[in-house]
Amino acid sequence: MDKAGIYKCLFFSITFTLVTTYSFSQEVKPQPADKNSLQLNGDIYSYNAEGRFDPFKPFVAPKSSSPTQQDPNEIIDDGNELNGMQLFEPGQLTLVGVMLSSREPIALVEDQTRKGYVLKLGNLIGKRGVVSSIDPRQVVVTETARTRSGKEMKSTTTMRIKKEGDK
């Protein structure tokens, strides 16, 4: 570094030290006693919060942890951990083939990534589904759900083999 660069650096550091020392040595004005009033250059500003909404209060109140009245027709979950074919709902699978044998029929299904799976009678599918029948061109899945009142609701989903050209 040459002499001019050293002088510039020295000048800026001395100037910076003087400015910061001067700015921190200024007299600090005392805070007003009232928390809703502020004094600026001799003027007093006062905020009257009476009858006004708190701007920091959320618009939506959080839900209470225990509802006062529960719907008796609401479907409840068993809370069981899902694994295997239970991770797929029947609508996420496509039936691609059926093999009928003397022992038991087998269905071949694919997910959206075209990964194949084998289904047999009684296999669990989705949260509440069970493979109830395997026919030459379709698979029927019966879903059983329980409500809070203990009522069982059954629904069936049919997966059909798509013919060539169907989408």
The band of 157, judged by pLDDT with boundaries at 50, 70 and 90, is: very high
Q: Has residue 27 got a pLDDT over 70?
A: no
Q: How many of the other CB atoms lie within 10 Å of CB of 46?
A: 10
pLDDT band at 17 (very low <50, low <70, confident <90, very high): confident
State which H helix or E strand residue 21 sits in: helix 3-24
Per residue in 83-134, pLDDT (tens digit) is: 888 888 888 999 999 999 888 999 999 999 999 999 999 999 988 899 999 9
Better-predicted residue by pLDDT, 161 or 74: 161
> SS3 for 87?
helix
Q: Are strands 116-120 and 106-110 parallel, antiparallel or unpaired?
A: antiparallel
pLDDT at 118: 94
Quick: pLDDT tens for 59-96. 887 776 665 677 777 877 777 788 888 888 888 999 99
Give the residue from 33, 38, 32, 37 showing the smallest Cα distance to 48. 37
User: CA-CA distance, 24 to 21, in Å (whole number)?
Assistant: 5
Ramachandran assignment for 94, one of left (phi > 0), alpha (psi -120 to 50 degrees), beta (any other): beta
Domains recognised in the chain with CATH numbers: 3-46 (no CATH), 84-160 (2.30.30.830)
Confidence (pLDDT) at 54: 79
For 159, counting Cβ atoms within 10 Å of its Cβ (0-12 exposed, 13-18 middle, 19+ buried), the class is: buried
pTM of the model: 0.54
